[in-house]
Copies of this chain bind each other. A is one copy, B any other.
């Protein structure tokens, strides 16, 4: 977990290729960035040890898994103190519908990305798992029509 990491052009190339497909083999990767496979493996391991590479996520089709309705819930928690906030975070992460949770600045403190089985499931989630909690002051629901991933993240 080195804090200051120096990244040369080869490292950046590696990160670019792996962000495109995290399952690229070391051999392919080495050829793509123009170094020997042994060197390339070393670079990737260093990036892992340095904490630049945190892991690799599987991208799945939520609709094909029976969750065709995705939404963002904006949640205002009041009063906004740790003894109330921490259990709220735990409860949100325990829901099978939760894909991601963000703590934000602004009046609506939390943003929750959820994937629901149906409108009824989403309604149950909002009413029973969010607004029913005493620390939750307000919930806004916005459906996701479509989403796009950005390009590779680089300095």
Chain A: residues with CB nearer than 8 A to chain B? 5, 7, 15, 18-19, 21-23, 50-62, 64-67, 72, 89, 93, 95-96, 98-106, 108, 111, 113, 115, 117, 140, 142-151, 153-155
Contacts and interface: CB of A to CB of B under 8 A. Distances in A.
Contacts of A108: 142
Contacts of A146: 102-103
Q: Which 5 A-B pairs have the closest CB atoms?
A: A98-B150, A66-B155, A22-B58, A22-B56, A54-B59
B51 A64 contact: yes
B22 A57 contact: yes
A56 B23 contact: yes
17 contacts: A19-B60, A21-B55, A22-B22, A23-B55, A51-B61, A52-B60, A54-B59, A57-B57, A67-B155, A89-B148, A96-B154, A99-B149, A99-B153, A102-B146, A103-B144, A103-B145, A106-B140
